[in-house]
Structure 1
Amino acid sequence: LVGRSSELFNNRITDLQCIALLEVLEAISTVETINISYNRIGDTAASAISRFLEAHDAIKTFDISFNRLSTEGMTTITNGLRNNTTLQVFNVSGNPIGNEGGMQLAEMLQMNNSMKAIHLNDCELGAESLIAFSTVLLTNVSLEEIHLSNPRLASLQGETLIHFATMLLSNTTLINLDLSKNKIRDNQLEHLTEALKRNKTLKILNLRGNEIAVQGGMMIGRMLKINKALTNINLSANQIGDYGCHEIAQALQTNKQVVNLNICYNGVGALGLTSLAAALQNNTTIRSLFVWGNKFTPESADAMAVAFKTNEMLEETDIVVCYVDGVAGVAQHNG
């Protein structure tokens, strides 16, 4: 029942239709997954959603992303979530629930012990609600992934990273942390990388689209020489440059945990890309590498071609090396 599907695009579910649908589904005890994303569902349906989530004892995944729920609607829905003991994945991304709606969800997580993943991208969250989530994760032992991309941060950006860093020093449950588009800068990132040197459980870190520059890239590289848990790192759309990439490449010479690395669109030139190619010749762990949108020269493109031939474990990349009159260049590879 995804509203952007070709079948429903011109007949998206409204509040009244959602209420009727949930009344029917409430009587079907075997329903485990509901996806009503990309529709026209707003606060009028919130009470019905809350009742459904409180009463249904089999539902495991509920996706209502990219609808029209506001703070008021989310406050109502959290009342049902507090008493739910089966829901594992809740996706409310793309709803303008605001900072107060985020605070209500954070409070709910203090009581809910079944939730494993919560998606809150593009929800107009504020710094206060981000801090609330990081605080809850000091004691919540069920949540394994949290997605907090693109909040509305006018202030306290640095303070939010301090709180997440503190959380990572003690949390042993969280596996996936998405802080993409959080306006993170190098001086703030340092808190996170220092904590990750000691964290032993986080596996997936998404820092796409922040304001991480050369020093931040170098911090990540130094962290990867120590961290033994991270497997997936997304740094795309930052500006780590040559020296940031070089430090990460140096770490990959010995790091045996990172499987997927994305450094697309980072202003990396010949030095960084050649260092990365050299690391690939020794690294047998990397399975996917995304580097499109950087500044390839013929020399760095040729070095990458040699690395691709040498490294038999690499399964996926977003570039293909081409030779024209013996001169190497790269083209985007879309799979």
Structure 2
Amino acid sequence: MDSETSIVSEVVETIFKVQSVESSIELPPEQWSSLEIVIPEENQKKLLYEEGLYDPGSGEICAKYIGVSASSILRHPYYNYPAIKDPGIEEALLQPEKPIVYPDDGQELYLATCRKMNQCPVRSFYRGLLDKEIDLRYYCVSAAGIRAMTIALRYNKTVKTLNLTDNFLNDDASYHLGEMLLSNNTITDLILRGCRIGPTGVSRLVYSLPQNRGLQNLDLSYNQLGDEGMEHIAKAVFYGIDIKKINLSYNNITGRGVMLLAEPFETNNKFTHIDLSWNKVFTPGSYAFLSKLSESTCLQELNLAWNSLSGARLSQALKDIMLCPLLNDLNLSNNKLEGEAITNIIANLGKAKKLVCLNLSFNPLTPADAMKVLNKVRAPAVKLHKLYLDNVFVTGEFLNLLARMKGMKSKKNLIVTYGGVVGSFIPKGPDIRELILNRIEYLTKKSKKRSVDIALVFLQLQKENRTIINNKDFGGVIESFGARLDEGLVEELCLTFPGPRTAKSRTVNVDLIVEYVKRKWPDRKLPPTPPPEPEPEPPPPKGKDAKKGKKGKGKK
């Protein structure tokens, strides 16, 4: 077994030997790892510094080369170089963006909005944001431009009047104006005359008016609203708009359209000025509107001109409107009111305590109707100061009554207009004979080289006994004296001084012309006719005749 067993010797190599060092024993400074500095044999920075090509800077030593000991320093050198503060990246990523607050005048907001929308700012609008009125009449503002303007006007506290006359606005622009009126209660006058917004545009405009308490005057004339647009206005009135003055002229509104306002007027009627001129209110439905309007306690001015109003039934509604307690101006001009209608309208003049102006101009009133109106105004109970009857003819009796009324103390300031006077008054115009002769005088003496005195021409014709001349030959006769006249003037002269007329032609009476010329220019006369020259004596005879004469004389 000893022979089979072999002794194997193992060789073990020592890799690492752990020394028994107590943890409480501190290593000597020579063994500190922070002091083990390996300095290269050739430092490039030192070499460059010696050559003057390197500047070490502030002289601070990097913390890597400083021996660190918790017992020798109070603060670790690395804390002298804190981390960079967050410049706002975290806030920008995690927090919502802070809104930009613009001033209430809207100037900066308007420029920012135009910049964002890539729109050119309107200088007059930008400056007007600090004034009481912004006037953009005929400015051709686009819908995008209106949007930027309305955004700037939402919180403006300065502008009172916004005038957009004749800027063709579409539905989008009307919508933005309506949105602006939701928050802006400073604007009192909004003028949209001739903007052609139509029924769809007015629906977007007036939907916000019940929430607005600042707008007082709304001008929607020349906008082609029609009866469909009146439906949206009636709905806004029903919900309680606070507008005082409204202008709906030139909108093709019929009686059906104004009838839609009758029901809203039962609950809300704050209109003080209503303009419905140049529409079609004479159609059926206007009676219901006027009857309900007569119950208003706020109405001050009503304009129903150019509506072809006529008939006794409609005049009864106009008669009731006179009873409005604050009505001071009623315009019924350019209609078809006459006879019984006028009698009905003026029946309540004495009860209209505030009525100052009544306009009945350009109605087919007869002189008798005008006399009825003036007799009614004569009553002391009538407080009317202005009565307009333009294009209405009156009589002398009307003028005498008006003169007597002007002498009354209560009617001395009464203003009455009328068209003309019929009856004994005969108007006198200019004398056509004088006009024609003055014109001929000017034309014949205009040329200094060929000046002709036309008065002497007519006197010469009479002297030559050429008193009756044919019309066709008269122009040539005048031209023979060196005076050239156009055919129209010669024809007018022949018509003014006519002579005997035949079946085929007309003549001119020169005697009539000379009679008027002598009264017009009495100092113009023909030169006196020189006496006739004596006849020359015959020459004495010659030859045989002379000898015979001598012999004869000798015999005698």
Q: TM-score range by the shorter chain?
A: 0.7 to 0.9
Alignment correspondent of 1:242? 311
Number of paired residues? 286
**Match status 1:317 vs 2:387:** yes
Alignment correspondent of 2:132? 60
Stretch deviating more after TM superposition (183-192 or 280-289): 280-289
**Match status 1:78 vs 2:150:** yes
Q: Give 1:214 deviation, angstroms.
A: 5.1
Distance in 1 of aligned mates of 2:342 and 2:202: 35
Is this contact kept in 1: 2:258–2:286, CA < 8 A?
no
Alpha-carbon spacing, 1:138–1:60, altered in 2? closer, same or farther (3 Å)? same
Is this contact kept in 2: 1:286–1:313, CA < 8 A?
yes
Distance in 1 of aligned mates of 2:120 and 2:333: 41
Out of 92, 112, 118, the residue aligned to residue 184 of structure 2 is 112
Out of 282, 290, 293, the residue aligned to residue 224 of structure 1 is 293
Alpha-carbon spacing, 1:178–1:46, altered in 2? closer, same or farther (3 Å)? farther
Stretch deviating more after TM superposition (84-93 or 102-111): 102-111
Structure with bigger RCO (C-alpha 8 Å, 6+ apart): 1
Q: In structure 2, what residue type is equivalent to 1:314? A: L
What is the percentage of aligned positions where both structures have the same residue?
Answer: 20
Alignment correspondent of 2:160? 88
Is this contact kept in 2: 1:50–1:81, CA < 8 A?
no
Distance in 2 of aligned mates of 1:152 and 1:172: 22
Is this contact kept in 2: 1:134–1:167, CA < 8 A?
yes
Distance in 1 of aligned mates of 2:237 and 2:322: 26
TM-score, normalised to structure 2, is 0.47
Distance in 1 of aligned mates of 2:364 and 2:185: 47
Q: 1:227-272: per-residue Cα shift (whole Å, max 9, x none)?
A: 2221111111112212354123430453322211111112212121
Alpha-carbon spacing, 1:243–1:215, altered in 2? closer, same or farther (3 Å)? farther
Please give the secondary structure, in 2, of the residue aligned with 1:318: strand
Q: Give 1:301 deviation, angstroms.
A: 1.1
TM-score, normalised to structure 1, is 0.75
Structure 2 unpaired stretches of 5+ = 1-104, 106-118, 400-416, 421-556
Q: 1:106-133: per-residue Cα shift (whole Å, max 9, x none)?
A: 2221222211110000112121121122
Is this contact kept in 1: 2:256–2:286, CA < 8 A?
no
**Match status 1:179 vs 2:251:** no
**Match status 1:103 vs 2:175:** yes
Distance in 2 of aligned mates of 1:275 and 1:140: 40
**Match status 1:284 vs 2:284:** no
Alpha-carbon spacing, 1:180–1:325, altered in 2? closer, same or farther (3 Å)? closer
Q: Give 1:277 deviation, angstroms.
A: 2.1
Between structure 1 and structure 2, the one with the greater Rg is 2
Q: 1:133-157: per-residue Cα shift (whole Å, max 9, x none)?
A: 221112112111111011134xxx3
Alignment correspondent of 2:274? 205
Please give the secondary structure, in 2, of the residue aligned with 1:201: coil
Alpha-carbon spacing, 1:46–1:207, altered in 2? closer, same or farther (3 Å)? farther
Is this contact kept in 1: 2:238–2:267, CA < 8 A?
yes
**Match status 1:143 vs 2:215:** yes
Alpha-carbon spacing, 1:124–1:225, altered in 2? closer, same or farther (3 Å)? closer
Q: In structure 1, what residue type is equivalent to 2:203? A: I
Greater percentage in strand = 1
Give the RMSD, CA atoms, in angstroms: 2.9
Distance in 2 of aligned mates of 1:83 and 1:50: 15
Alpha-carbon spacing, 1:46–1:270, altered in 2? closer, same or farther (3 Å)? farther
Distance in 1 of aligned mates of 2:202 and 2:309: 25
Please give the secondary structure, in 1, of the residue aligned with 2:384: coil
Alpha-carbon spacing, 1:303–1:252, altered in 2? closer, same or farther (3 Å)? farther
Is this contact kept in 1: 2:305–2:334, CA < 8 A?
yes
Alignment correspondent of 2:323? 254
Please give the secondary structure, in 1, of the residue aligned with 2:246: strand
Q: In structure 2, what residue type is equivalent to 1:101? A: A
